[in-house]
A and B are shown apart, each in its own frame.
Chain A
């Protein structure tokens, strides 16, 4: 069975600082990996995804993530945090095409002025 863990339910960074949100997964087969962002009272918006190919994936709003198979990780980073980045971030995995997503519990990012 697949599962996703996100270390740190709440992360606080200062504006302009590096953002690092951690995601580890367990999967019996090479997974498809996703990061979604959720703003208050809104649905989920896709930030980036890894399916095949290059392991460093760039997404919207300056975010990127690197798939590390040996570490079963897909951590999300952004070099410089902006106040507008404050939101809930979810890592998700799907095992195969057409399969449902398994989401992590989420990490709430706060950006301090």
Chain B
């Protein structure tokens, strides 16, 4: 069990650029979640996959955001035309059951 991994750990980009983050869940976990955490706040839910199916999306996930989990294993979160307000920590979590979520270390995004 190597835990949930996320890459990159840090990303600095200019406003208007596209960025993509990757999350590798714990092996055999069929559920995968994305959250966003801004400074001084708790994580906010973005979207959720069960296997390859995206079952739930938050209103926070504007049309500039897209997430995929093509083979039910790793997932990617893409932000198009980044804005300064997108600067945050993006957290990924996975779970084998309906309860406990195991979190990765996060990707910290800074949009200049």
Contacts and interface: CB of A to CB of B under 8 A. Distances in A.
B105 interface: yes
Interface in B57-112: 58, 91, 93, 97-106, 108
A22 B106 CA distance: 26
Contacts, number: 62
A43 B94 CA distance: 12
A100 B103 contact: no
B44 interface: yes
Interface string A1-20: 00010000100000000000
Contact of B103 (A4, A44, A104): A44
Interface residues on A, range: 20 to 34
Given A43-B4, A43-B106, A101 B43 contact: yes
A82 interface: no
A103 B6 CA distance: 21
Looking at B43, B50, B98, the one whose CB has the most chain A CB atoms below 10 A away is: B43
A43 B35 CA distance: 11
A98 to B, nearest CB: 5
A97 B91 contact: no
Nearest to A94: B99
A47 to B, nearest CB: 11
A45 interface: yes
Contact of A45 (B31, B33, B103): B103
Contacts of A41: 105, 108
A97 B99 contact: yes
Nearest to A43: B103
Given A43-B105, A43-B106, A49-B100, 15 more contacts: A4-B42, A43-B4, A43-B91, A43-B103, A44-B91, A90-B42, A92-B42, A96-B98, A97-B97, A97-B99, A98-B31, A100-B45, A100-B56, A101-B43, A101-B101
